[in-house]
Amino acid sequence: MVARGFQSANHPILAQIVPIRRCNLACTYCNEFDKHSPPVALATMRERIDHLARLRTANIEISGGEPMLHPDLDELIRHIRATGALAGLITNGYLLNEKRIERFNNAGLDHLQISIDNVHPDDTSKKSLKVLDAKLRMLATHAAFSVNINSVLGGELSHPGDALTIAKRAIELGLTATVGLIHNGRGRLMPLTPEQLHVYSEITAMTAPFYTVQNQNDFQRNLAFGRPNDWQCGAGGRYLYICEDGLVHWCSQQRGHPGIPLADYTTDDVRRESTSEKSCAPLCTVSCVHRVALLDRIRTQPIEALDEIMPASASGAASVRALRWMFVTSPHHDRFRAVAARLLGSRSASRP
């Protein structure tokens, strides 16, 4: 994905697609589910994935609702992989079992994320460690794909210390852990309390895999301390959110902009929206779009960006230094970038 991101700014780095809006849970802070929608037909989803491939999308994540309620989920994963894109899944994990994990392995799933909100289920959320710990152990044993556990801070969640317990458990099991900040109905920051801030600092200070570098970037740190970010949101361009009706939106929190059918979406739309102004950007907490922006910053200002995300004490520092040498400072960085693009199966590497 990084290699493809380096290649050009004219294609989406990440698209999230919704094959079903229905969810088996009902978290009170969530505005992304209903209790009645049917699954989108497999043929329709295949067409959408094919169009994302025509736009040269590097990474396609299946989201919801709860995507494991879709009867053809394995086939969707296979179809994404067949386009050459990475395949990801965002799930509440309730429907996981060993057989489903094996099926995901066979379908070629690349990465899976579960968000866990608390240690014990309460009226706000049933996504609790108590219920899901058995699923995490199953994933740690059987998954051939990477698994990230995202804990959340802020909003109506009443036990901030739970996020630390969840992150520690994920790392103990050999999974990766991240922490997200809860947003309001427009994707904007809800300020953290002093207790929540303390927990946030503890989690981000934990020795953790390189992937958690997203928690050490300025976006999340600024927001945690109530500071706005000055950045270009690439939603609608470098990042796409495709709803169950097949419309392209900036993100799950800004649906209706631009609201164009994916089938009509062109590279010109991608270019325009990558740089369009979004008034919601300064207090935006949508971390996957931050990560896409970070990748673009590495592309345009590599040394400054890698310096920012390379904490001297982090266990991942050596690997980041190696990446920096390979892709930035080495006299052969062009060759490294080209080889990485080929190794990552980038069909787009050979396209103009």
Instruction: Supply the minimum distance, in Å, between the C-beta of residue 251 and ligand SF4.
Output: 3
The total number of residues written for the chain in this structure = 352
**DSSP per-residue letters across 203-233:** HHHS---GGGGGGGSHHHHHHHTT-------
What is the separation, in whole angstroms, between the first and last Cα of the chain?
17
Told to check if 235 binds ligand SF4 by CB under 6 A, we report: yes
User: Out of 10, 32, 221, 232, which residue is the one contacting ligand SF4 (CB under 6 A)?
Assistant: 32
Return d(Cα 161, Cα 225) in angstroms, integer. 17
Told to check if 187 binds ligand SF4 by CB under 6 A, we report: yes
Told to check if 294 binds ligand SF4 by CB under 6 A, we report: no
- Number of residues in contact with ligand SF4 under rule CB under 6 A: 25
CB atoms under 10 Å from CB of 39, counted, come to 19
Q: Which stretch binds ligand SF4 (CB under 6 A): 10-18, 77-85, 245-253, 324-332?
A: 245-253
Told to check if 248 binds ligand SF4 by CB under 6 A, we report: no
User: Out of 14, 76, 96, 251, which residue is the one contacting ligand SF4 (CB under 6 A)?
Assistant: 251
C-beta of residue 147 within 8 angstroms of C-beta of residue 114: yes
Q: Which stretch binds ligand SF4 (CB under 6 A): 53-61, 190-198, 283-291, 337-345?
A: 283-291
- Could you tell me which residues come within 8 angstroms of residue 287 by beta carbon, excluding any fewer than 6 positions away? 178, 180, 181, 214, 219, 220
Instruction: Supply the minimum distance, in Å, between the C-beta of residue 101 and ligand SF4.
Output: 19
In which order are the strands placed within the sheet that holds 59-62? 176-181, 146-153, 111-116, 86-91, 59-62, 14-17, 239-242, 247-249, 258-261
Q: Which stretch binds ligand SF4 (CB under 6 A): 20-28, 78-86, 309-317, 333-341?
A: 20-28
Binding mask 140-169 for ligand SF4 (x = CB under 6 A): ------------------------------
User: Out of 77, 139, 233, 295, which residue is the one contacting ligand SF4 (CB under 6 A)?
Assistant: 233
**Of residues 79-108, which lie at the interface with ligand SF4 (CB under 6 A)?**
92
- The two three-digit tokens of residue 55, written as one number: 């736009």
| Complex with ligand SF4: residue 19 or 316, whichever CB lies closer | 19
* Residue reference for tokens 């959110």: 241
User: Out of 3, 17, 18, 33, which residue is the one contacting ligand SF4 (CB under 6 A)?
Assistant: 33
3-state helix, strand, coil in the chain (%, to 5): 45, 15, 40
Instruction: Supply the minimum distance, in Å, between the C-beta of residue 150 and ligand SF4.
Output: 11
For 34, list phi and psi in degrees, rounded to 5.
Answer: -140, -175
User: Out of 278, 291, 297, 324, which residue is the one contacting ligand SF4 (CB under 6 A)?
Assistant: 278
Told to check if 65 binds ligand SF4 by CB under 6 A, we report: yes
Q: Which stretch binds ligand SF4 (CB under 6 A): 79-87, 105-113, 166-174, 279-287?
A: 279-287
* Residue reference for tokens 């520690």: 168
Return d(Cα 187, Cα 183) in angstroms, integer. 5
Return d(Cα 37, Cα 227) in angstroms, integer. 38
Instruction: Supply the minimum distance, in Å, between the C-beta of residue 128 and ligand SF4.
Output: 11
